[in-house]
Amino acid sequence: MRILYHHRTRADDAQGIHIAALCGALRELGHQVDIVALVRQTRVRAGPEPDAVEPGREGASLFGLPVPAWFYELLALAYNIPGFFMLTASVLRRRPDLIYERYALFTLCGRWVARLFALPFVLEVNAPLSLELSRHGGLAFAGLARRLETWLLSSSTRTVVVSQAMADLFVRQGVPAGNLVVMHNGVDAGRFNPQVDGGAVRARLGLEDSCVVGFVGWMRPWHGVQQLIDAVAELRPVCPGLRLLLVGGGPAVPGLREQVASLGMEHAVVFTGPLRATDVPAHVAAMDVVVQPDVTDYASPIKLFEYLAVGRAVLAPAKPNILEIVTDGQTALTFAAGDQAALTAALQRLYGDPALRTRLGAAGAALIDQRGYRWRCNARRVVDLVRPSPGAERA
Length of the chain: 395
43 pLDDT higher than 50: no
- Model confidence pLDDT, tens digit, residues 84-117: 999 999 999 999 999 999 999 999 999 999 999 9
Residue 100 and residue 68 share a domain:
yes
- Model confidence pLDDT, tens digit, residues 66-81: 778 888 899 999 999 9
Residue 205 and residue 87 share a domain:
no
Q: Which of 110, 297, 326, 295 is nearest to 217 (CA)?
A: 295
Q: Which of 225, 221, 222 is nearest to 247 (CA)?
A: 225
- Model confidence pLDDT, tens digit, residues 109-156: 999 999 999 999 999 999 999 988 877 667 889 999 999 999 999 999
Strand partners, 222: none
Contact 337, 328 (CB under 8 A): no
Residue 333 and residue 205 share a domain:
yes
Domain membership flag for residue 330: yes
| Averaged pLDDT of the chain | 90
Domain membership flag for residue 71: yes
- Model confidence pLDDT, tens digit, residues 247-284: 999 999 999 999 999 999 999 999 999 999 899 999 99
46 pLDDT higher than 50: no
16 pLDDT higher than 90: no
Number of H helices, E strands in the chain: 16, 14
Residue 223 and residue 115 share a domain:
no
Residue 315 and residue 294 share a domain:
yes
Say what the pLDDT of residue 65 is.
67
Confidence of residue 395 (pLDDT cuts 50, 70, 90): very low
- Domain containing residue 90: CATH number: 3.40.50.2000
Confidence of residue 48 (pLDDT cuts 50, 70, 90): very low
- Global pTM? 0.88
Tally of structural domains, the chain: 2
Alpha helices in 51-108 (DSSP H): 69-78, 80-94
pLDDT, average across residues 166-189: 96
Domain membership flag for residue 132: yes
Domain membership flag for residue 233: yes
Contact 192, 310 (CB under 8 A): yes
Strand partners, 291: 315
Residues 6+ apart with CB under 8 A from 364: 307, 308, 309, 311, 312, 313, 314, 326, 331, 332
Residue 223: DSSP 8-state: G
Residue 258: DSSP 8-state: H
Say what the pLDDT of residue 297 is.
93
Cα gap 265→226, rounded to integer Å: 13
Cα gap 303→319, rounded to integer Å: 16
185 pLDDT higher than 70: yes
Domain that residue 117 falls in: 2-186+374-386
Domain membership flag for residue 50: yes
Domain membership flag for residue 391: no
Confidence of residue 27 (pLDDT cuts 50, 70, 90): very high
DSSP 149-210: HHHHHHHSSEEEES-HHHHHHHHHHT--GGGEEE----B-TTTSSTT---HHHHHHTT-TTS
pLDDT, average across residues 20-31: 95
Say what the pLDDT of residue 102 is.
96
Domain membership flag for residue 194: no
Residue 277: DSSP 8-state: G
Domain membership flag for residue 171: yes
Cα gap 322→334, rounded to integer Å: 9
